[in-house]
Chain A
Amino acid sequence: MNELIHILPVSLILISAVGLMFMSMYENKFSTKQYITVSSVVLIVALVFTFIPLGELYAVRPYNNIFNDVLIFDSFSNFFNILLILGTLLTLLIGENYFRSNKYFKGEFFSILLFALFGMMLLANANELVTAFIALEIASFAVYVMVGYDSQDSKRVEAIFKYLVLGSFIGAFYLLGVVLVYGATATTNLTEIATYISTHSNSELTLVYIGLTLILFTFLFKISAFPFQQWVLDVYRGAPMIITAYMASTFKIAIFSFFLRAVLQDIEPLIDFWDSIIYIIIILTLVFGTWLAITQKIVKRMLAASSIVHTGYLLLAFIALGQNIDAAYATVFYLIAYLLSALGSFGIISHIISETKVRVTYDDFKGLAKERPYLAAMMTIFLFSLAGIPSTIGFIGKFYVFTEAINAGYILLAVLAIVATFVSVYYYFKLIAMMYFYPTKEECLDNDFNDKRVSTYAIAFLAIITVVGGIGSAIVFFIPALNIDTLINMTQIAIQSLFIKS
């Protein structure tokens, strides 16, 4: 019975996804609003279940004889499940306006969204390479479909095509990697691979090294690090705005959940082998991402390009893992910070676009502050957070990453990352300048907007969290609940649960 609790959220999502699929057969009977309500309720229920074991240290492998250890349920996966569900829920709520004003979002879309979430949660729970692959593909395929959701739009068709072909191609690398690892170790279970690695000398591990490096390529592709970043701009640009937000934040978290587990729990010694490769990749990711971000004129593309830079920061924390385990907390914390700010910024833009459809480039955002001061203020908060300005959670995230990088001895990389941050101030603040310092363009004027919507409240909620996460107890030190330390403690418990041998 106890074991049921652990698998309940994942199975609930799966069942509801199937349920929604059946619901969508009766297209005319339900409105988009009803689909959104049903999916939100499901997500909230799942969230409640994941919150029950929050803050305790555990690791279980339920129904050992049925699942054969392919899935593991521990504080780590639980923590990531919370993030993933929360990310999906927020995406849904922020997108409310967007989904309702674009008629092509039919019922099955919400079923696909839940399937994507199911895949991602499975990925966070996967303890075995092939299961991880299946989970990854479930999530990826759902995302492919969502990227190309409006087949009338040629940009979207291009986006789905590019993403599908490249994604499947890189998936083949992963499989090849798994095969090589299996060939050497005769297992695909992470724990057993770890035992194999620790009991064999370096010269016997060549095949494992090659296999794991191929798997690393998949990881780098999915998080859009250099040299696999080419698809990002077009795919992000082509996808519906809210899906872009989903990919940039929630999907990235799911990818990290598995690879962090793999690296931390099992193949930690190998990170030294990757050290110099990742070192160069970080430099190129930062430089290239920054350059791309500066040169964009379309806001959505700028945010997409800047997400490459954020990947660079994440990798910076990732490489520091080899030297000290504390860097893992930094990675996780940064993921949370980025989830909030990216969802917020993409969300606002999708909210605005869904009504006016004319705000695309920087120029189109001129004078937004006069028209809709609250939206502009919230956008400013998210951009501050992305740029790492103090008093936002983005600052704390960067603080951790840079501290751990310096602590691990990567001072040059930290300085480079800070230079990238410095440049990022330029392209983020440019948008703020557009919103505040210019009069509105006439063709963008639209007085019929209605900001009293679910999406606005969801965005406002995110904005508040972004600020509270940055200031935390400094301003409200008499309210212990709103403490950054609590969040850090939870990330620490999550990471530590990886090291429980059960």
Chain B
Amino acid sequence: MSADILSFIIFLPAVVAFGLMITTKHVETVRNIAFLTTTVILALVLKLYIEFEPSAGMQFVTNVPWISSYGINYYIGVDGFSLTILMMIAILIPTAYLLLWEGRTKGYWINMLLVQAGVTGSLLALDVILFYFFWEVMLLPVFLMIGIYGFGDKVFTTIKVTVYTMLGSLLMFVAMLYLGVTYHAEFGTWSFQYDSLTQITSLSYNEKIWLFLAFLSAFAIKIPIFPLHTWIMETYKNAPTGAVFLLSSIMAKLGVYAIVRFLIPIFPEIYVEFSSWFVFIGLFGLIYFGIAALMQDDIKRMFAYSSASHLSFIAAGIFSLNVFGINGALYLIIAHAIATGALFLLVGIIHDETGYKTIKDLGGLAKQSPIFTTIFAIMLFANVGLPGTNGFVSELLIIFGIYEFNHTLGYISALTVIIGASYMLWMFQRAILQDREGEALKFRDLKIKEIVGLAPWVILVFLMGIYPDIFIDKFEPTVTHYLNDILQIGAAK
């Protein structure tokens, strides 16, 4: 049973989604069953988390032939890296359901379930073709969600997102096929498993660079890394809250995850050689998106830029080639998912209730809704990295990592944190605290079920901020394995 638990986690949402699609028309039934499914998954992931032994290897592996004539296997497993992210997804999604509770249609919930299946699948897949399969599958429901439930020029937005992500995906697809064919030429058998692909030795330097870039393009678009970010503006503005939440707090993280899972093991020397470029691009993105966020009036767009800014920071950490940076990046993946996810959902509530999206239209929310404001503030502080929150731990680790990588860049990264703090606090002051002149804004406070939904996030923010070791211990061995065995750089700890 324990070997099949992963498959169960992946396919349960999909099976439930298809079942709901053809059986019932009742929105509330669909929502309740969907929510129940996510809690079942949460329970399973918790069981997995407890049973997981902190070590470098893959656990709970299932490897059965899928298309055996081409050596494509249904090969899934979990290690410290994916487990942490899996845990995050399992906690975030049910709480998101609680915050999106009212007034959604059947298709909305079904699409949410399908996204969860796709995301979990691509997180656990260890065969590149299987990974590609899930990677594409998770995009399609989001495509439908934006197109059907979005606002403004939603069709244009949908097409733009699809075109961008498909372009990246197809480049990655070519690279995967090329690797598979190279493996075939070298070893005489077909295989698309990532651990077989790491054994390829016959690639020339130029080939490796091209393949590396092809893979990276898919991941960088998803994250998004500067300059492949231009799709996020319209998308975050026009997409429905659920889709924005999924894109920013979950799918973007999979881009980062995929860099670690596939790029580092398959192209270690290219990764090391170009790391300084990517740290630089990451820091540039951090500053660029930060400044852009400062200038936004639309609150969702501001969060879009802020999210991109933090994601660039994560990317910089991933490429910093030492245990601090990578640990910090992984930690920030979680912290950012929690904080940004919550903020997007809270802004979604503001938008649903008041219809306002621009910062200058808002104000005075603090008086009418103290609980809302408190939680909003906690997430905001976590996002800007206030000591005591998980944001602080992760940013500190990344800054250490970058400092060790290059002192000057380390100083720069430390200073840039202030940009994040300034736009966030400025927005908070204008949109939530300050009293608006004229008619009072009608706004309700959070309901009990929304508070229940957000409670685990608040707890996690502080727990991860105050006592990070219980989490870091789970993935530390994996990170050192990456550095010592794959990159052959002595771990700094």
Contacts and interface: CB of A to CB of B under 8 A. Distances in A.
Interface stretch (B165-173, B346-354, B385-393): B165-173
A22 to B, nearest CB: 45
A317 to B, nearest CB: 13
Contact of B159 (A403, A407, A429): A429
Nearest to A400: B70
A421 B11 CA distance: 28
A425 interface: yes
A442 to B, nearest CB: 20
A402 B177 contact: yes
Contacts of A489: 69
Contacts of A461: none
Contacts of B65: 473, 485
Contact of A425 (B70, B162, B185): B162
Contacts of B69: 329, 485, 488-489, 492
Interface stretch (A237-245, A340-348, A411-419): A411-419
B193 to A, nearest CB: 14
A436 interface: yes
B462 interface: no
B130 interface: yes
Interface string A477-502: 10000001100110010000000000
Contacts of A485: 65, 67-69
B6 to A, nearest CB: 13
A399 interface: yes
Contacts of B70: 399-400, 403
B162 A415 contact: no
A172 interface: no
B229 interface: no
Interface string A405-446: 011000100110011011001100110010011100000000
Interface in B112-143: 129-130, 132-137, 140, 143
B11 A406 contact: no
A436 B148 contact: yes
A438 B150 CA distance: 12
A406 B181 contact: yes
Contacts of A406: 174, 177-178, 181
- Main SS class of interface, B: helix
Interface residues of A, number: 39
A403 B181 contact: yes
Nearest to B146: A437
Contacts of A396: 67
A488 B67 contact: yes
Contacts of A407: 181, 184-185
Nearest to A438: B155
Interface string A300-325: 00000000000000000000000000
B163 A433 contact: no
Nearest to B70: A403
Contacts of A418: 170, 173-174
A390 interface: yes
Interface in B159-198: 159, 162-163, 166-167, 170, 173-174, 177-178, 180-181, 184-185
A426 B163 contact: yes
B262 interface: no
A364 B259 CA distance: 43
Chain A CB within 10 Å — which of B69, B74, B178 has the most? B69
A384 B68 CA distance: 24
B64 interface: yes
A464 B134 CA distance: 19
A229 interface: no
Contacts of A329: 69
A390 B132 contact: yes
B129 A402 contact: no
A400 B177 CA distance: 10
Interface string A176-197: 0000000000000000000000
A1 interface: no
A433 B159 contact: yes
B66 A473 contact: yes
B166 A399 contact: no
Nearest to B64: A477
B148 A477 contact: no
B317 interface: no
A144 to B, nearest CB: 39
Contacts of A395: 133
Contact of B158 (A389, A437, A473): A437
Nearest to A389: B136
A472 interface: yes
A391 interface: yes
A421 B74 CA distance: 25
A407 B11 CA distance: 33
A38 interface: no
B108 to A, nearest CB: 13
A416 to B, nearest CB: 11
Contacts of B74: 473-474, 477
A436 B144 contact: yes
B67 A472 contact: yes
A436 B159 CA distance: 13
B180 to A, nearest CB: 6
B67 A391 contact: no
Interface in B188-225: none
Given A390-B134, A414-B174, A422-B170, 15 more contacts: A391-B133, A402-B174, A403-B177, A403-B181, A406-B177, A407-B181, A419-B170, A422-B167, A429-B143, A429-B162, A433-B158, A472-B66, A473-B66, A484-B67, A488-B69
15 contacts: A377-B21, A389-B140, A390-B133, A390-B136, A391-B137, A403-B180, A414-B177, A418-B174, A425-B163, A437-B155, A438-B155, A474-B66, A474-B133, A485-B68, A488-B67
Interface of A: 329, 377, 384, 389-391, 395-396, 399-400, 402-403, 406-407, 411, 414-415, 418-419, 421-422, 425-426, 429-430, 433, 436-438, 472-475, 477, 484-485, 488-489, 492
Interface of B: 11, 21, 64-70, 74, 129-130, 132-137, 140, 143-144, 147-148, 154-155, 158-159, 162-163, 166-167, 170, 173-174, 177-178, 180-181, 184-185
Please provide the 9 A-B residue pairs with the shortest distance between their CB atoms, ordered closest to farther. Answer: A390-B133, A437-B147, A390-B136, A488-B69, A406-B181, A407-B181, A474-B74, A484-B67, A474-B66
